[in-house]
Amino acid sequence: MKCFVFAAGDFDALTERPGPGDLILAADAGYQNCRRAGLKPTVVIGDFDSMAAPEGEELVRLPVEKDDTDTMFALRLGLERGCRDFVLYGATGGMRADHTLANLQGLVFLASHGAQGMICAPGCVWRVLKNGTLRFPAGMRGTLSVFCPDGEARGVTIEGTKYTLCGGTLRSDFPLGVSNSFTGGPAAVSVEDGTLLLYYENQDIMP
């Protein structure tokens, strides 16, 4: 079972549609993106400070003053309901750059709880990789950037791309992995110890 989370940022189209039994969560004004995609949410979550609570939907009402953002609460709810694979839409851009950063941290949060998540944004994808490998099929195009969001990531290997790395270390204070690119063949990124934040520009073919 996958969990699809809709936030209120930039959204143009689905790159993957939910299947039967998947969980669909709309975080506050992300409800509008969810409906724009032609989907009915399983649950609408929020403090409803940016839109009125929609009628005829299952709601989880949150207080305005809270530690979690509406989107972060949705991630927690997805984990509680047994999801370990998350797809986020509308989680970047919009009027609040701070929420974009918060949602990227949300991907790190999922990885630290044994789950995986991806943010599908207009023209790009964000993913987090923790102590593992992400393989890309042949045919990928465009930019691939790899960052360390926290401290150090050791044993980093990047192969099948324009610039390669074998067993290196990426640090959060220097963007060594920015602006790499796919070459058309299979590629892979792996990390032995640590967390990586990946950005890539292709949504036609995705791992």
Cβ–Cβ < 8 Å for 70, 102: no
Give dist(CA 49, CA 64) in Å, integer.
7
Lookup result for tokens 């796919």: 182
Q: What percent of the chain has pLDDT over 70?
A: 97
**CATH architecture designation of domain 2-122:** 3-Layer(aba) Sandwich (3.40)
189: which strand partners?
A: 134, 158
Pick the CATH number of 129-200 from 2.40.50.140, 3.30.540.10, 2.60.120.320, 3.30.420.40: 2.60.120.320
Check whether 188 has a pLDDT greater than 80.
yes
Residue 206's pLDDT band, with cuts at 50, 70 and 90, is: low
37: CB partners within 8 A, 6+ apart: 6, 11, 13, 14, 89
Question: Who contacts 134 (Cβ-Cβ below 8 Å, separation ≥6)?
Answer: 127, 188, 189, 190, 198, 207
Predicted pLDDT at 71: 96
pLDDT of residue 73: 96
User: Higher model confidence: residue 49 or residue 82?
Assistant: 82
CA 66 to chain centre: 22
**For 77-81, what is the mean pLDDT?**
97
- CA 70 – CA 206 distance, rounded (Å): 27
Q: Are 2-122 and 129-200 equal in CATH topology?
A: no
Is the pLDDT at 203 greater than 90? The verdict is no
**Domain map of the chain by residue range?**
2-122, 129-200
Give tens-digit pLDDT for 99-134. Answer: 999 999 999 999 999 999 999 999 999 999 999 999
What's the pLDDT at 205?
62
Give the Å distances, CA to CA, from 146 to 82, 170, 195. 29, 9, 10
In angstroms, the CA 140 to CA 144 distance is 10
| H or E segment and range at residue 156 | strand 152-159
Q: What is the pLDDT of residues 129-187, one digit of tens each?
A: 999 999 999 999 999 999 999 999 999 999 999 999 999 999 999 999 999 999 999 99
